[in-house]
Amino acid sequence: MNSQPDTFWAWLAGFIDGDGTVGIYRDSQGYIVPKIVISQKDRGILDGIVTAVGTGSVHVIPNSWGGAHQLAFGSGASKRIARQIAPYLKVPKKKTTADAMAAIVDKQRTDAVHERPEFKQAVAFYKSGLSCKTIGEKIGVKAATVNSWLRSRGMTRTYQEAQQLRRKREAV
């Protein structure tokens, strides 16, 4: 998605300023869901945006005069797109929403991860000196996932600390 030039993101921001919506909503489970939607009579333009961005779905708006179409991006894509277009948006409310979108979603996901039992196990194993690889094997997730969880909590070891722990375990 980031492979597009800045001029594309500036153009898309202008298009969204004119014919789009940048919003943050709650789903049925209470989670915050970012959404970017663009409405347009010419489906070809929307299909071109989908091709350029690499994601999104276009459908006909039911009961619309003249058969308008709508392009909607999922929450992950909306967040990534918002980061790209935010500097170029001119409508104040849309700009503010796009700026807030990434921060809100990042916090929500981090909070949700921190409540998972696997995360709590990973933290306990980490505090006992196990490596991310060993923790991942014990709880059934990838070492990179464990590493990401721990980094989100500011719990990381330097290479030297990890080596010291490894030597300590091998000596026992």
Question: What pLDDT, in 10s, does the model give residues 121-172?
Answer: 888 888 888 888 889 899 988 888 888 778 777 776 776 777 787 788 788 7
Using DSSP's 3-state secondary structure scheme, residue 136 falls into: helix
How sure is the predictor about 1, in pLDDT bands with cuts at 50, 70 and 90? low
Across 19-54, b (16+ Cβ under 10 Å) vs e yields bbebbbeeeeeeeebbbbbbebeebeebeebeeebe
Domain boundary residue, one of 112, 128, 157: 112
Are 11 and 71 in the same domain?
yes
Q: What residue numbers bound the domain in which 162 lies?
A: 116-171
pTM equals 0.60
Lowest mean pLDDT among 49-53, 98-102, 108-112, 153-157: 108-112
- How many Å apart are CA 78 and CA 20, to the nearest integer? 12
37/105 same-domain check: yes
Pairing type for strands 20-26 and 57-60 reads unpaired
Residues 59, 12 share a domain: yes
Query: What total of structural domains would you count in the chain?
Result: 2
79 and 133, same structural domain? no
Q: Are residues 63 and 91 in the same domain?
A: yes
Same domain, 108 and 163: no
Same domain, 19 and 99: yes
Asked if residue 42 belongs to a domain, the reply is yes
Least confident residue range of 8-17, 44-53, 63-72, 91-100: 63-72
Torsion sign (Cα): 138, 140, 142, 146: negative
| Confidence at residue 132, expressed as pLDDT on a 0 to 100 scale | 85
Does residue 106 form part of some domain? yes
